[in-house]
A and B are shown apart, each in its own frame.
Chain A
């Protein structure tokens, strides 16, 4: 049974990293969170009911650790990985800039959302859980989940939409002076 837990955890690692990345917006911090989550999950493996979903259980552990870390992380000042991501977005300068601005808007808007909304966004929009599963994870009524999630997504869409052409232009002008 226990080896089964370990191998299932390894299969689950990519998704757990993505979830942690959505919460931390930083790959290094995400991996720290994943590591803490796995350690805690294994140390409590007896609490997991075989037959129930390992992913939901581990997301719950991850989000609890992340909630606990919230204050400390704020004090340290979180970093985001916009530079890394920009490199992945392609060689076309304009595409990079636009993608980067979109990501920047998404990251910044996520940052400003209440933490439970960030978790909801990560569970539903990033990982693809259903409203019901997300509601169970956060111990919230499904109606509450839907209204909070709707607000969070409106904020994110507005931010992406709101970073209008003008901002792209401004940034590209700056780029011309600074980088090349």
Chain B
């Protein structure tokens, strides 16, 4: 009698054998009772297993899973195109100044001179250079430089209502301040960041069509050595940047809540 290995019998049961081999086993099975007995476990196991775990196919998908798929930060498609510029920063505790800007080796940070920002001239939206002022650092970056928000920041911007602070990594407080629409129709949110050290940054980021949040502008808001901030408020540079960028109005709380609830109008519809 021919010795057919278990694996081959299993492959027969699963329909994985080539036609000629399948036919050969089939013929053997008509006369070989022992072979039939050995085939049985593979037929039974497949049927039983398929049935045993079928339940999720009949259950409604929970909202939380849908929301996760619609709202989780996505790695930018541009990451492969512009690796140096769009690498997200993943470590929140490395220091606030480094936080929300990608630091590719040849890219450096996108900084603009604070004096330029303060006057509203040469806002440097498309600048990919760095320069620093002696006092506080004013940073800006353009959409074209694709500065990807840290995942924690993106998460808060994506899901958090304005005015509510969320703690990231137990150290940095992230608070969306307000929501507005950019002139090219993107949803943008101003935010404040505060670390334990008393260091504050504020800025704004805009949501890209793919769901990624790109930081457009970010600056220290309460750096003691710098003269550009107003007490307790956004720096004039930030206000100027938002004014330049927004379509003029701000989105009210109810509309903002609706946008958040439907994932900023993200497809699929």
Bound together, the chains give a CA A6 to CA B69 distance in angstroms of 6
Determine the distance from Cα of A7 to Cα of B44 in the docked complex, in whole angstroms: 36
How far is it, in angstroms, between the C-alpha of A93 and the C-alpha of B46 when the chains are bound? Answer: 25
Residues of B close to A15: CB separation below 8 A: 57
- A-B contacts at CB below 8 angstroms, number: 157
Question: Are A46 and B75 in contact, CB atoms less than 8 angstroms apart?
Answer: yes
| Chain A nearest CB, measured from B198 CB (Å) | 31
Asked if B54 and A38 make an inter-chain contact with CB atoms under 8 angstroms apart, the answer reads no
Q: Which residue of A lies closest to B83 (CB)?
A: A46
> Which residues in chain A, 114-164, are within 8 Å of chain B measured between CB atoms?
121-122, 124-126, 128, 130-131, 143, 146-147, 149-150, 152-154, 156-158, 160-161
A157 with B45, Cβ < 8 A, contacts A10-B69, A38-B72, A146-B10 known: yes
Closest partner residue, chain A, to B70 (CB atom): A6
**Closest chain A residue to B60 by CB distance?**
A14
Give the distance in Å from the alpha carbon of A173 to the alpha carbon of B132 in the complex: 82
Assess the A147–B7 pair: CB atoms within 8 A.
yes
Interface assignment of A3: CB less than 8 Å from any CB of chain B = yes
A38 touching B65, Cβ below 8 Å: yes
Question: Is B42 an interface residue when CB atoms closer than 8 A count as contact?
Answer: yes
**Given known A-B contacts A3-B267, A6-B267, A157-B41, A30 and B72 have beta carbons under 8 A apart:** no
Task: Report how many residues on chain B are interfacial, defined by Cβ distance under 8 Å.
Answer: 46
Interface of B is mostly: helix
On whether A126 and B53 interact (CB within 8 A), knowing A9-B69, A13-B65, A42-B74, the answer reads: yes
How close is A92's CB to chain B, nearest CB, in angstroms?
Answer: 17
User: A3-41, CB under 8 A of B: which get 1 and which 0?
Assistant: 101110110011101101110000100110011001100
Question: Distance (Å) between the CB of B44 and the closest chain A CB?
Answer: 5
Residue in B41, B55, B74 whose CB lies within 8 Å of A45? B74
On whether the beta carbons of A21 and B56 are closer than 8 Å, the reply is: yes
Interface string of B1-28 (1 = CB under 8 A from A): 0000011001100101000000000000
- State in angstroms the CA–CA spacing of A5 and B70 once bound together: 10
B193-233 interface bits toward A, Cβ cutoff 8 Å, 1 = contact, 0 = none: 00000000000000001111000000000000000000000
A31-B64, A34-B65 known; A7 vs B267 contact (CB < 8 Å): yes
Q: Does B68 contact A (CB under 8 A)?
A: yes
Q: Which residues of A contact B254 (CB under 8 A)?
A: none
Count A-side interface residues using an 8 Å CB cutoff.
Answer: 58
A85 touches B (CB below 8 Å): yes
B74 touches A17 (CB 8 A): no
Which of B42, B73, B75, B151 is close to A157, meaning CB atoms less than 8 Å apart?
Answer: B42
Q: Chain A nearest CB: distance from B25 CB in Å?
A: 15
Given contacts A6-B69, A10-B268, contact A156 B49 (CB under 8 A): yes
A71 within 8 A of partner (CB) = no
Q: Given the complex of chains A and B, what is the CA–CA distance between A124 and B53 in angstroms?
A: 12
With A21-B53, A146-B10: A131-B69 Cβ-Cβ less than 8 Å: no
Is the CB–CB distance between A125 and B46 below 8 Å? yes
